[in-house]
Structure 1
């Protein structure tokens, strides 16, 4: 058997994903600008121009850093640096986050579809009021230009409560932090807050009509929608 040449034996090194490259650039910028915890990053338009990327690409990298807790993106204020980690630890965190996403989606599609089905069958008038209040809260956030993350969280909490299943509620509490990752990731996609709100309204309408089958189907459609994120493409 002929021996392999040295060139043949060298395995191809995977090219870093674009968002990973951009995160490295962002960390380098933070370092060179000597930004510290509590400092605000430049506006997205300015930062995109400095880094030579589109605002859409930059937004995806900022969402990833927000998920990792490196920055806190506040509507009307911008991205505020929470802490300044080293680049290797950030990239490691990003890869771990990306690998977790499919399993988090799998768990949500299992638990929340059943919760929606049960909520339609068991909800009280008080439960419905809580669901509607959460919808109103998210609508106000989205109308103001925010992502609607708080209203989104309230909505899913209201659905869980309306199902009146203590064990399922405990399971949802157990994965709450992981769901937060998917929530931030999803609502960071262009146009997604408005799409998510419309999807929530369909779920609420089915629960209001006490149609368990329609509620489960609407929730499954919703989980499919919010699982469509750039990080997994």
Structure 2
């Protein structure tokens, strides 16, 4: 009788996963509620005995799975999902689906950028440039530019004038926001992302469909280089 294959090895928890799990446990034990704030990062890192970099990565992971919201100037605020239990499984599920999200985003948004270059109106260009300005201001003020980043890609999608592609983008919008949060939380990434946006906007304004698609592909590949994927290889 042939024996079944042996079970897979139990994956080792990375340090930031353990820290995120410990924070989740602390939230439940202290009966913190949605809207409550976590201690400042420096204090929390000292309490946990980890570096600020590790804590920052743990907080990003918690934000990606919807347990907290990180607000510039307002700290880390708990959401309704902050008390749902251990978080390591949710963090790993996010990491597992990242490659597929990236593939879908590249295919859809590269095509949308090309169509936008061919179909954009002056109003579309105003919306695209307004999103760039908002992102630049947010980054200059110390933020990550998350909402303006989303507005930029939404403006490009609107300029493409494709209702079916827009519906497809709407279907995966929540998944894309996960990757956006993960990407823009990395050091230097907001400014790099803004530069990519400008290149896309210039090509769309010039009506160069090929250049717009190439610039969007380059941008998606850049922002898809995230720590969660590098650490799972």
Please give the TM-score of this superposition, normalised by the length of structure 2: 0.90
Q: Where in structure 2 are the equivalents of 1:50-199 lying within 5 Å?
A: 50-83=47-80, 84-88=82-86, 90-199=87-196
Looking at CA atoms only, which structure, 1 or 2, has the larger radius of gyration? 1
Q: Which runs of 5+ in 1 are unaligned?
A: 1-8
Could you report, residue by residue, the CA deviation over 1:180-227 in whole angstroms, capped at 9, with x for unpaired residues?
Answer: 111111111111111111110011011111111111111011001110
214 and 178 in structure 1: CA distance in 2 versus 1, 3 angstrom threshold: same
Q: Secondary structure at the match of 2:76?
A: strand
Task: Indicate conservation of the 8 Å contact 2:117/2:203, yes or no.
Answer: yes
Could you report, residue by residue, the CA deviation over 1:156-201 in whole angstroms, capped at 9, with x for unpaired residues?
Answer: 0100011111111111111111111111111111111111111100
Between 48-57 and 137-146, report the one with greater CA deviation.
Answer: 48-57
The question of 1:216 aligning with 2:188 is answered no
Q: Secondary structure at the match of 1:114?
A: helix
11 and 202 in structure 1: CA distance in 2 versus 1, 3 angstrom threshold: closer
116 and 10 in structure 1: CA distance in 2 versus 1, 3 angstrom threshold: closer
10 and 162 in structure 1: CA distance in 2 versus 1, 3 angstrom threshold: closer
Task: Indicate conservation of the 8 Å contact 2:18/2:88, yes or no.
Answer: no
Equivalent in 218, 225, 230 of residue 228 of structure 1: 225
1:10 and 1:111 map into 2 onto residues whose CA distance is 38
* Count, aligned residues: 224
Q: Which runs of 5+ in 2 are unaligned?
A: 1-5
